[in-house]
Amino acid sequence: MHIGNYRRRTEAVFLVFLFFLILCIARLFYIQFFRSRYLAGIAKKQQNLFVELEPVRGAIYDSNLKQQAVNIPVDSLYAVPNEIPQKDKEKIIAQLCPILNLERSFLAQRLGRDKSFIWLVRKLSYEQSQAVRRLNIKGLGFLKESKRSYPNSYLAAQVIGFAGLDNIGLEGLEIYDDKYLRGEAGWGIFLRDARQKRLDLWAKMVLPKDGYDLVLTIDETIQYIAERELDKAFEKYHAKGASIIVMDPHSGAILAMANRPTFDLNSYTKADKDRIRNRAICDLFEPGSVFKIVTASAVIEEKKVNETDRFFCENGSYRVANHILHDHTSHGWLSFREVIEQSSNIGTVKAAQILGPQLLYKYVKLFGFGSKTDIDLPGEIAGMIKPPSLWSKTSIGAVPMGQEVGVTALQLASAISVIANGGQLMKPYVVQEVRDKYGETIKKISPVVIRRAISEDTANRVKSILGGVVENGTGKMGKIPGISAGGKTGTAQKLEPNGAYSHNKFVGSFIGFAPLENPMVAIVVTLDEPRPYYFGGVVAAPVFKNVAGDVIKYLKSHQLAEGEMVIE
């Protein structure tokens, strides 16, 4: 009986063990055939670390291949919270807060997550990186990334623009040509040991494709000259804003473009929208008397008026419909040449009345007003000009002298270039070439003639008149010692919110070119609400004089140096 009980117990134990063995075999069978891929995936994730490989963003160079925007290598700090003992986290947070300039709550939240990888700070400064390295904290690591850097800080800030933390363009050329600059990301799989520590071994890798470089038409030296002189006027006359454009009138290439106020590209997060926006292409204003170059060109081209025709300027007061038109200085009889030289509103309007609204509008459009120039920069506006069917009875007394018209500084630069280059409207551009990292040209941008606006004869005759503006007229303060020049002054009243013209808010401007006979540069200067002086001939013409004088000397020396190199 005793032996029988013992045998039954043995059999029961055997059956229990057999049952568990069958369960284990079934479980192994299930894992092997139904869960193997899933579990292998988990093991692979533990052994492998997927890392996106950042491409190097393309550089931006000036026309002489001087760097304006480059990428520099920097450290990005990450943490492995699972490797950091809970008791040490408070101490680590206290050490990192003053170095990284982060709130304690932010670091506590990041380090408190149940993760094997988490970013703490992307793209540290060199000083921050070294300070963290000296702490030698287990569970923290660094990955190399690249950061956008702008060697000239403020220079051409609104033109170049900036790229964000992930090297994606946000403003200016950085966003407009982002498709060229950004490149294509690669990826790699790191091997890790049992403690999740990254090994310097790759399982697989696809290399990133670096971005292309841009070569600009902008010349760093000319840009500096333009910004230096614009700064002086902006501060001297306490202006609300200011813009300057230096253009090659024969090609449309922008040699310099600047705005005030401005900002530091390396600290763009601290700048407001007023500083970031490119006023030269996105601010609309009535041009005032600089617009008279269109009226003068139109009446001469249509042979309605010639330079010697005389106009009675009504001693400074002239009725157009129900509006009384005034000159800033009373004039009697003036030749048409003198009308433009002395910037007589009345004489200009009388000439436009001979021409008529339809023909005047035709030339306004031929000169490019009311349409975008299609410059290769973001944010350009088209300006505004109403068709004659929408003109009032007083419009013929307003449009010829630059009222009831909305323009940009860039449109004025294109318009004055028409006079300077012999009558052709050129498409302005700031990028002349796209290159790869080996210097091979990917895309070449050539000058584009949009259309012929006026004949060469008319352009030369108006050019001569504008030379008289600088020599004898309202633009005397734009006269360049030793260099002939032509130009036109403008002083435009701004509109108040109620639609009336202001008596204390003006835009002072000057448009011109030099040398007179064979212009090398066309320049536009505008100052928004300068004070106490506001006449364009006083606040803007001297900027033109200083910039044109220095730029022409620079260009001539540059050409001479290139000639000597060719001879050698």
Which sequence positions are flagged as catalytic?
Answer: 289
Phi, psi of 202 (to 5 degrees): -105, 135
DSSP characters over 76-134: EEEE-GGGS-HHHHHHHHHHHHHHHT--HHHHHHHHTS--S-EEEESS--HHHHHHHHH
Q: Which residue has the tokens 């454009």?
A: 245
Structure tokens of 326?
A: 């005034």
Check if the beta carbon of residue 62 is closer than 8 Å to that of residue 117. no
CA 358 to chain centroid: 36
Q: Which residue has the tokens 């260009």?
A: 555
Q: Is 425 exposed, middle or buried (0-12, 13-18, 19+ CB in 10 A)?
A: buried
Q: What angle do CA 340, 406, 250 make, to 5 degrees?
A: 65
**524 beta partners:** 245, 511
Helix axes of 357-366 and 292-301: crossing angle, nearest 10 degrees: 110
Helix axes of 86-100 and 126-135: crossing angle, nearest 10 degrees: 150
Q: What is the 3-state secondary structure (H, E, C) of 492-538?
A: EEEECCCCCEEEEEEEEEEEEEECCCCCCEEEEEEEECCCCCCCHHH
Structure tokens of 25?
A: 């075999």
Helix axes of 104-111 and 86-100: crossing angle, nearest 10 degrees: 140
